[in-house]
Chain A
């Protein structure tokens, strides 16, 4: 499955969640999806798709990647559901450990992108910490532009490469 399909899918789930629940996190300027706490509501949809997501699992928790705008490190509204689900999982599973990896697209210099990647990893980690994860569960690393997901040299690839990945090193959901 392509990353874009996956994004579109989660955007749809998020839209459903918004209509069902109207809470808005304080740190965003536009309406953002609330955490999909009602697992059963989304299970049917998940099973109906071909995404290989297992039953009884929050799809937002299955998503391990959040994306960023060019030269930016602020958490986008479309990343909030994913990060909140992981924050909740981490607070409920104190033994879980996650390595938050920050990445940049290929534009710009390598060391500058290394710094930008660290900012993105920190932004995601700070969000997790502010929403229930403890600092000892979080490790931060930047790969700068060294580990692209998409190998093209145009915005379609770059937008997939500007990201933070949540990689569990123990007790992955």
Chain B
């Protein structure tokens, strides 16, 4: 709770200009998005720093599957069921298929309580009603978004999750160009961003532990690459490897007990697993080609990775018990940086066609292959825990920015940043 207070004070101090490094712009939504009106929630206390109904609208909008009604088009602001007149919401231009109303109150133990209700406007009936309590209004808002999203789509919402990402800026203070790398953590809407670590040496390849609390990454702060684990709550950092050569691409196993990584201590880049409790290493690949970017299958029984053993970078799977290897990608001559959906069915990757790098997805069951993005120099795909969206890094006006695309390619969202180059987003598991 202390953490939340600090964030709130920080927000108050620096006002709107420092509220979020990332701003979200929806570049492409689906044409048949569900219209929904989130009416401002009634509140009789002192002015609040956060507009909960607005945050819920923005969350649902960002999913691309909903078209929230603008507040200026609302004909009334009901907060109780008795104040709802369905004809106010049935107009073609000012209407919505669904209506959400709510009211906020303070509880005896200093929390907020929000009672909210979802209506089906066409059927003129209540779909469901709920309440939420907490001290952090943004967190309550994201929770409400999760509940509404699940109620209306049947899919668990991922609005309460977080992400880590890396920024890099050039500093020119001494006349000599130096770099400033920062490792950030933020909500997935870009708010509540905090610096976890800062270094003049490279930081790369952050990813999450399955517990949603620890992360792993590569830092050169010792002037050589090494793999670290950090507790994002306490900021405590632990060095896991510092072998000679490459120490890269760390990924926690689904059970959190092992880490897959790339080491070149034995000659050239190979994939290893390390049992975290004992530090015991096991070499998985053994090939003179580059093997890198391992990721675990959800069942923990195989590793998916990039290898150029066939002459160009392609994605392979190696089973950990039998050692059997299979090639997964055959489209084009550059497929790298695999990421799997939690059900293991869809494989997202970086795909090069005609010299341009895009995010592509392969359906491992049906074998279909789709290029999802039209941006260039796309990198580092990371899939939401509910598999709704892929967040990735791309270039916009010569700057590294984050963007997101739905797995079917129909929804595209840009997250332009005000500072430096933003790169290597990693979406957290459910928390």
A interface, CB within 8 angstroms of B: 106-112, 114-116, 118-119, 140-144, 146-147, 151, 153
Asked if A118 and B336 make an inter-chain contact with CB atoms under 8 angstroms apart, the answer reads: no
Which residues of A have CB within 8 Å of B377?
106-107, 153
Determine the main DSSP class of B at the interface with A.
Answer: strand
The reply to whether the CB of B262 lies closer than 8 angstroms to some CB of chain A is yes
How many Å lie between the Cα of A93 and that of B56 in the bound state?
Answer: 68
The listed residue with most B CB atoms (<10 A of its CB), out of A107, A111, A119, is A111
What number of B residues sit within 8 Å (CB to CB) of A?
35
Smallest CB–CB gap between A103 and chain B, Å?
11
Which residues of A have CB within 8 Å of B245?
118, 140
**A–B Cβ pairs within 8 angstroms, 25 of them:** A107-B357, A108-B336, A108-B352, A109-B336, A110-B205, A111-B262, A111-B293, A112-B292, A112-B293, A114-B204, A114-B262, A114-B292, A115-B269, A115-B290, A115-B292, A116-B290, A118-B268, A141-B224, A142-B225, A143-B202, A143-B220, A144-B202, A146-B179, A146-B202, A153-B377
* In the complex, residue of chain B having the shortest beta-carbon distance to the beta carbon of A141: B224
Given the interface pairs A116-B290, A118-B264, A153-B395, the reply to whether A111 lies near B205 with Cβ below 8 Å is: yes
* In the complex, residue of chain A having the shortest beta-carbon distance to the beta carbon of B378: A109
How many Å lie between the Cα of A146 and that of B170 in the bound state?
Answer: 12
Asked if B224 and A108 make an inter-chain contact with CB atoms under 8 angstroms apart, the answer reads: no
Asked if A109 and B262 make an inter-chain contact with CB atoms under 8 angstroms apart, the answer reads: no
How many Å lie between the Cα of A143 and that of B380 in the bound state?
Answer: 17
Given the interface pairs A106-B377, A111-B248, the reply to whether A146 lies near B204 with Cβ below 8 Å is: yes
Asked if B292 and A111 make an inter-chain contact with CB atoms under 8 angstroms apart, the answer reads: yes
Which residues of A have CB within 8 Å of B337?
109, 111-112
The reply to whether the CB of B398 lies closer than 8 angstroms to some CB of chain A is yes
* In the complex, residue of chain B having the shortest beta-carbon distance to the beta carbon of A152: B398
The reply to whether the CB of B313 lies closer than 8 angstroms to some CB of chain A is yes
How many Å lie between the Cα of A99 and that of B7 in the bound state?
Answer: 43
CB interface residues, B 193-244, toward A, < 8 Å: 202, 204-205, 220, 224-225
Which residues of A have CB within 8 Å of B402?
none
Given the interface pairs A109-B337, A109-B350, the reply to whether A115 lies near B202 with Cβ below 8 Å is: no
The total of interchain contacts (Cβ-Cβ below 8 angstroms) comes to 81
The reply to whether the CB of B424 lies closer than 8 angstroms to some CB of chain A is yes
Asked if A115 and B246 make an inter-chain contact with CB atoms under 8 angstroms apart, the answer reads: yes
The reply to whether the CB of B186 lies closer than 8 angstroms to some CB of chain A is no
Report the 10 A-B pairs with minimum CB-CB distance, sorted nearest first.
Answer: A146-B202, A109-B337, A115-B290, A115-B269, A111-B249, A109-B336, A111-B292, A111-B293, A111-B248, A115-B292
Smallest CB–CB gap between A99 and chain B, Å?
9
Determine the main DSSP class of A at the interface with B.
Answer: mixed
Asked if B424 and A108 make an inter-chain contact with CB atoms under 8 angstroms apart, the answer reads: no
The reply to whether the CB of B187 lies closer than 8 angstroms to some CB of chain A is no
Given the interface pairs A119-B290, A153-B398, the reply to whether A112 lies near B336 with Cβ below 8 Å is: yes
The listed residue with most B CB atoms (<10 A of its CB), out of A112, A116, A142, is A112
How many Å lie between the Cα of A171 and that of B187 in the bound state?
Answer: 50
Which residues of A have CB within 8 Å of B224?
141
Smallest CB–CB gap between A163 and chain B, Å?
16
Which residues of A have CB within 8 Å of B313?
108, 112
Which residues of B have CB within 8 Å of A147?
179, 202
Asked if A110 and B290 make an inter-chain contact with CB atoms under 8 angstroms apart, the answer reads: no
Smallest CB–CB gap between A165 and chain B, Å?
14
Asked if B424 and A110 make an inter-chain contact with CB atoms under 8 angstroms apart, the answer reads: yes
Which residues of B have CB within 8 Å of A110?
204-205, 379-380, 423-424
Given the interface pairs A107-B377, A118-B269, the reply to whether A112 lies near B246 with Cβ below 8 Å is: no
* In the complex, residue of chain A having the shortest beta-carbon distance to the beta carbon of B290: A115
Asked if B290 and A109 make an inter-chain contact with CB atoms under 8 angstroms apart, the answer reads: no
Q: 7 extra interchain contacts, Cβ-Cβ under 8 A, other than A114-B292, A151-B170?
A: A109-B336, A110-B424, A111-B262, A111-B306, A115-B264, A115-B290, A153-B395
Contact with A along B70-81 (1 / 0, CB 8 A): 000000000000
How many Å lie between the Cα of A120 and that of B168 in the bound state?
Answer: 24
Which residues of A have CB within 8 Å of B336?
108-109, 112
How many Å lie between the Cα of A142 and that of B246 in the bound state?
Answer: 7
How many Å lie between the Cα of A109 and that of B179 in the bound state?
Answer: 20
Smallest CB–CB gap between B181 and chain A, Å?
8
How many Å lie between the Cα of A114 and that of B290 in the bound state?
Answer: 10
CB interface residues, B 310-348, toward A, < 8 Å: 313, 334, 336-337
* In the complex, residue of chain A having the shortest beta-carbon distance to the beta carbon of B424: A110
B293 contacts which of A107, A109, A151 (Cβ < 8 Å)?
A109
Which residues of B have CB within 8 Å of A115?
246, 248, 262, 264, 268-269, 290, 292
Smallest CB–CB gap between B287 and chain A, Å?
12
CB interface residues, B 332-390, toward A, < 8 Å: 334, 336-337, 350, 352, 357, 377, 379-380
* In the complex, residue of chain A having the shortest beta-carbon distance to the beta carbon of B395: A153
Which residues of A have CB within 8 Å of B424?
110
Asked if B248 and A109 make an inter-chain contact with CB atoms under 8 angstroms apart, the answer reads: no
Asked if B204 and A108 make an inter-chain contact with CB atoms under 8 angstroms apart, the answer reads: no
* In the complex, residue of chain B having the shortest beta-carbon distance to the beta carbon of A122: B268
Smallest CB–CB gap between A110 and chain B, Å?
6
